[in-house]
Chains A and B, each alone.
Chain A
């Protein structure tokens, strides 16, 4: 032991002698500013901070500890010799198995820069000055705003000084810095977008791809703006105009599409992806959120009316607070609908303690507001100061405090004239009928039980007491629970009771309610089943908000007042002591937050939304993580372009339609998907970051279904209203699925094709039961905000598109349409291709496809399809937890009583089936399912 110490001493002496005074100072400075904080945050927790738990017997809290080493019995540090220092070797993560990687977790790994720093320090003979010396270096450093190490960012302050005074690379702060409108580079092209794109392309020695042909362009514009393919005659009309004056035709087309009511359906969907729209609340009960559709329609209308984005966002965060200030008789119910945004996350407090249920809600809403409007993942600084961005956990809890008084309720809001309420009476009647059925069944069982109870009392010469009245009696003085009922009947009783109130609750959707919020103290009981406005929410002061250390309710830290993100340097108030704090009144907190987000100086807001808009035009955003602009999100490929777009957007009143026009009138948007230098580009720029050509995109789930309906001529283009129930795979529709205590009722499609064949955005969205067709084509899980849709090709997509009844029905509809329009097979084949692809077939295709249909005519003449039947009721079975045994019960399906099914293979002749085979082929082809 002694010898080891003396060797160490020798090293120390050697080390200190070896460094020149200048280099020694340099080393001390490096240690004080960088190495010590790094060791302290990455290593001390396991190596020394807690003397009882020192991992590997290695203490890194002093130089002596480092020189001594741990279990390996080798020094961890050899001053001057990083390659002999296990401390360094482990941190490089490249010397396994000799030195296990440290820190062990991938997420904690040292950055390349940190590893280099460590190396430098060891090369400088690893000096370890006393705390006093370290503070001197630190104070000196903190007086400078910018150094070679990066920038200081002033915030409300972190939990430690190390965090508060850490430095950021300006490149990582791009999104937090003010937007300054850059001048577009000089260019032959008028559109600033092209100027920015071509500038970068030229620097890389590439030309942009040529312009796509008129047909590709018209399809692209239709899909991008309204989510539907153009009809052959719309293509023809465009061609006529294009042949006269291409640019004029193009700009007229854009104007037409932007004024189509279907524009709002397409762009509203993008927003609903971010907001996480669904018609139910998720988790154990998956309660319907009555009239969530009114928010969906509000969003669609907002896009159609070209509502300025700043207004749109303020309404969604604080619509109710504006509404309250309006004169009683002029209050606008839309403002309450807008606040459903704050209700879109999955939430159900069942079996959760109230403080936790509230925390879950507020965390969710804070994160949702951050992601959606500020492209900031708030979760990342809920438990600690942000690891990479200038976002202290204090700011998280300041935003948390903004929502501390936000309570959830279904609020009364009269239906507006523009809201589509058709079918309301009819749907209500069906709901009522299902309720009656459940109620009747429930009563029968209840009567049976009470008859047995009566008998029980009679036999003992006692007076009968009903279920409630006998509740308090001791067990011996009353009949057993569920007396007179077999175990199966007990199960049924539970199911019927559950059904009774499920339908009772669903009747609520016919009342003029919205999923809203109000300000007030936390209600006594939280139950997602029914949340109503209290008569008098009370003006009580809210309990103080605290930083929750580690995100835990059990570890409240310092008290905080409501506020905003301080790093953005945009004042939210004129409070003298702190511009980033807002009012602590119970009312108005959200409005102040919303106005701060919508402040034209807020650097995140406009960048966030123009990035999203760009993404839906090009398939890819400029900054690759639309929900996270922090250091760890993807940096913008064209930062100046993004800023130009953001500044221009704000300057011109936050208007979407103008932004679409600018983007779509650029040559960049009109590029072809084929580039003469494609092979070279694939090597140099495989992800097309230069935007040198157009990347085809697969239709989204909704577009695919809508396009199918449009192509077959079945689409009902009515706007808005109560959710519709398209036909889905019947196995899924009738699949029993557990909810709390019971089975959820079966899915029943709308009765007639007209009702069913509405656009997909109007389809009922249940968190616990995804539409299998849409889910397969990557409709996102509404439990999470979706910044970008996946479009991976997976095998089950082939099954559903090739074999399912849903697509089979479309193919029959299309065959019937084509037969009605044309008499000969020759022309029918042509028409089918024209409807599906927007072009006529070439001779080779035409011949081959015709031949195929002929063959299939022969085939189908010999193969008779089975009839498809829809059940009017089903027997469902469930393992009852009361008995552990399966039991069965009957469920009625009134939708199928007067059901008007789509035409099935058995309803048409062999020739139609053969033509339908061709249509199915077209629907499955890449040409149909991709937009170029």
Chain B
């Protein structure tokens, strides 16, 4: 008899329309299976989730967290440094910003950072990381996927592959960007060779957060439910004619999950219920900080709801010219929101288990070439030195780790390539890069490509 091969789940599904949608979705929700089901970490994790604030373009280390008085003394004098592709006359560029020590711990921050000093003692400033690719998309791909080629799985995909996600009604890997997509676009959050379940889902800043999340306006939710029930009818009858093919039921389930997501995603996106003071703290009332502020607040909500990896791209850091203007404005746009995020996470007791990372794809040079025929006060791309912040999730607090030389040109202490940073992030989440592998193209592949080291200096 044909019914014999109808699994419990398939039968339940078929009854969906008569049981009532709620009862059925509840039953399904409790039975978490599949590739995104939560998995046990490989060792005791320090962090459960990651919020990565990605400053696209490459923030300058010497103008943010790694001041270099010796560089300022050389301002506009000729630079004989040979670096990368630079040709022609080059000159040093001192920082237009003053720096000061902040917090109990005395971290360095340029004066442009107005709010961040309040949480300085939660931060770890890492100065030893080195990138490998001099141009944006390759460097972005490298920081996001461990490979410059733009075809491998992103960090967030690997983490979801290793740990699953705690809320099946939301994507496990969420990406937000300001207005424009970063160079290289969605390849930066691609699942690469991992199954498609692990790709990053972009929540759009305006309109429907996920493409086609909702039906067109004239179709109500009730209309949608009715259509799904009819679809279930067709699919169920069809499945009985084709027993033993699991793909068919997996596809049926994806429609029910879609239906649940339609309700849950807008709920997370809706920040109306957040306290006005909190909205203010995140900078949501000021046009300079509103977008990033909203995204930071959403990141907190998403992590609270069990999302594993949230990434926010903030563009415009590529200050080849007029760095003073460019970086001032960029710092202003993220300063207040990210400070609020760290405070908010801490107040809710979430910071311990949430790893916050602030980074770009590379750093900037201490010198510049003449651009447009003038002494242009900006900086080029630098793969030998950069600066990043880490907070929460098992990293050291109020600490500077690593160092750069006296003009900030190259990392000199605790020097590590990006792959070591990746291995460290995985480690903090309870994952071992050497074991988190996926067989593809004839070998077991891993995020670090060929293995890397945990940067133990970063770990509390």
Contact B247 A855 (CB under 8 A): no
Q: Chain B 121-163, CB within 8 Å of chain A: the 1/0 string?
A: 0000000000001111110000000000111000000000000
- Does A794 reach chain B (CB closer than 8 Å)? yes
CB distance from B143 to the nearest CB of A (A): 15
* Chain B residues, Cβ within 8 Å of A625: 441-442
Contact A736 B434 (CB under 8 A): no
- Does A772 reach chain B (CB closer than 8 Å)? yes
Q: Cα distance A472–B133 when bound, in Å?
A: 32
Contact A926 B239 (CB under 8 A): yes
Residue of A nearest to B241 (CB): A674
Q: Chain A 706-739, CB within 8 Å of chain B: the 1/0 string?
A: 0000000000000000000000010110011111
Residue of A nearest to B261 (CB): A795
How many A-B Cβ pairs are below 8 Å? 292
Q: Cα distance A768–B380 when bound, in Å?
A: 24
B167-226, CB < 8 A from A: 171, 178-187, 190, 192-193, 195-197, 199, 201, 204, 207-208, 210-220, 223-224, 226
B238-287, CB < 8 A from A: 238-239, 241-245, 247-248, 250-255, 257-258, 261
- Does A909 reach chain B (CB closer than 8 Å)? no
Q: Which of B195, B212, B216 is A729 in contact with, Cβ under 8 Å?
A: B212
* Chain A residues, Cβ within 8 Å of B217: 865-866
Residue of A nearest to B315 (CB): A879
Q: Chain A 491-533, CB within 8 Å of chain B: the 1/0 string?
A: 0000000000000000000000000000000000000000000
* Chain B residues, Cβ within 8 Å of A348: 135
Q: Chain B 419-445, CB within 8 Å of chain A: the 1/0 string?
A: 000000000000000110100011110
* Chain B residues, Cβ within 8 Å of A628: 441-442
- Does B416 reach chain A (CB closer than 8 Å)? no
Q: Chain A 884-927, CB within 8 Å of chain B: the 1/0 string?
A: 11100000000000000000010000000000010011101111
Contact A866 B320 (CB under 8 A): no
Contact B216 A808 (CB under 8 A): yes
**From A350, A353, A882, residue with most partner B Cβ within 10 Å:** A882
Contact A881 B320 (CB under 8 A): yes
**A106-B446, A475-B375, A926-B252 given as contacts; is B235 within 8 A of A740 (CB)?**
no
Contact B218 A865 (CB under 8 A): yes
- Does A15 reach chain B (CB closer than 8 Å)? no
Contact B211 A796 (CB under 8 A): yes
Contact A107 B451 (CB under 8 A): yes
Q: Cα distance A284–B320 when bound, in Å?
A: 16
Contact A104 B135 (CB under 8 A): no
Q: Which of B204, B218, B243, B376 is A866 in contact with, Cβ under 8 Å?
A: B218
* Chain A residues, Cβ within 8 Å of B243: 674, 678
Contact B135 A673 (CB under 8 A): no
CB distance from A441 to the nearest CB of B (A): 19
Q: Cα distance A698–B245 when bound, in Å?
A: 12
**A696-B242, A793-B250, A793-B254 given as contacts; is B434 within 8 A of A105 (CB)?**
yes
Residue of B nearest to A842 (CB): B237
Q: Which of B245, B434, B451 is A673 in contact with, Cβ under 8 Å?
A: B245
Contact A678 B5 (CB under 8 A): yes
- Does A431 reach chain B (CB closer than 8 Å)? no
* Chain B residues, Cβ within 8 Å of A848: 230, 233
* Chain B residues, Cβ within 8 Å of A106: 434-435, 437, 444, 446
Q: Chain A 854-888, CB within 8 Å of chain B: the 1/0 string?
A: 01100110011110000000000111111111100
- Does B19 reach chain A (CB closer than 8 Å)? no
* Chain B residues, Cβ within 8 Å of A478: 373-374
* Chain A residues, Cβ within 8 Å of B193: 784
Stretch at the interface among A55-63, A158-166, A797-805: A797-805
Contact B258 A798 (CB under 8 A): yes
CB distance from B331 to the nearest CB of A (A): 8
- Does B326 reach chain A (CB closer than 8 Å)? yes
- Does B349 reach chain A (CB closer than 8 Å)? no
Contact A784 B258 (CB under 8 A): no
Interface of B is mostly: loop
* Chain A residues, Cβ within 8 Å of B207: 731
Q: How large is the interface on B (under 10, 10 to 19, 20 to 34, 35 or more residues)?
A: 35 or more
- Does B101 reach chain A (CB closer than 8 Å)? no
Q: Cα distance A926–B317 when bound, in Å?
A: 47
* Chain A residues, Cβ within 8 Å of B72: none
**A625-B441, A855-B226, A905-B218 given as contacts; is B211 within 8 A of A351 (CB)?**
no
Q: Which of A472, A729, A743 is B211 in contact with, Cβ under 8 Å?
A: A729
- Does B460 reach chain A (CB closer than 8 Å)? no
**A796-B210, A882-B321 given as contacts; is B230 within 8 A of A737 (CB)?**
no
- Does B318 reach chain A (CB closer than 8 Å)? yes
- Does A602 reach chain B (CB closer than 8 Å)? no
- Does A470 reach chain B (CB closer than 8 Å)? yes
Contact B215 A802 (CB under 8 A): yes
Residue of B nearest to A787 (CB): B441
* Chain A residues, Cβ within 8 Å of B318: 881
Q: Which of B245, B247, B254, B374 is A798 in contact with, Cβ under 8 Å?
A: B254
- Does B234 reach chain A (CB closer than 8 Å)? yes
Contact A845 B234 (CB under 8 A): yes
Contact B446 A731 (CB under 8 A): no
* Chain B residues, Cβ within 8 Å of A852: 226, 230
Contact A736 B85 (CB under 8 A): no
Q: Cα distance A860–B215 when bound, in Å?
A: 14
* Chain A residues, Cβ within 8 Å of B450: 107
- Does A563 reach chain B (CB closer than 8 Å)? no
Q: Cα distance A787–B320 when bound, in Å?
A: 41
Contact B180 A284 (CB under 8 A): no
Contact B234 A921 (CB under 8 A): yes
* Chain A residues, Cβ within 8 Å of B328: 884
Q: Chain A 829-846, CB within 8 Å of chain B: the 1/0 string?
A: 000000000000000110
* Chain B residues, Cβ within 8 Å of A822: none
Residue of B nearest to A673 (CB): B242
**A106-B437, A377-B442, A877-B179 given as contacts; is B451 within 8 A of A792 (CB)?**
no
Contact B150 A738 (CB under 8 A): no
Q: Cα distance A905–B218 when bound, in Å?
A: 9
- Does A65 reach chain B (CB closer than 8 Å)? no
* Chain A residues, Cβ within 8 Å of B178: 879
**A920-B227, A921-B231 given as contacts; is B319 within 8 A of A682 (CB)?**
no
Contact B134 A284 (CB under 8 A): no
* Chain B residues, Cβ within 8 Å of A377: 441-442
Residue of A nearest to B291 (CB): A886
Contact B244 A678 (CB under 8 A): yes
Q: Chain B 342-379, CB within 8 Å of chain A: the 1/0 string?
A: 00000000000000000000000000000111111000
**A105-B451, A106-B446, A350-B135 given as contacts; is B329 within 8 A of A883 (CB)?**
yes
* Chain B residues, Cβ within 8 Å of A877: 179
Contact A800 B212 (CB under 8 A): yes
* Chain B residues, Cβ within 8 Å of A627: 441-442
Q: Cα distance A632–B179 when bound, in Å?
A: 44
- Does A481 reach chain B (CB closer than 8 Å)? yes
List 11 A–B pairs whose Cβ atoms lie within 8 Å, in order of A's numbering.
Answer: A351-B84, A731-B204, A740-B136, A783-B151, A790-B195, A794-B197, A799-B212, A866-B216, A879-B330, A880-B316, A924-B255
Known: A346-B150, A799-B212, A884-B327; 5 extra A-B contacts, CB below 8 A, are A783-B149, A793-B254, A881-B318, A927-B234, A930-B247
Closest 10 CB pairs of A and B: A884-B329, A879-B316, A628-B442, A351-B135, A471-B373, A798-B258, A784-B151, A884-B326, A736-B180, A865-B218
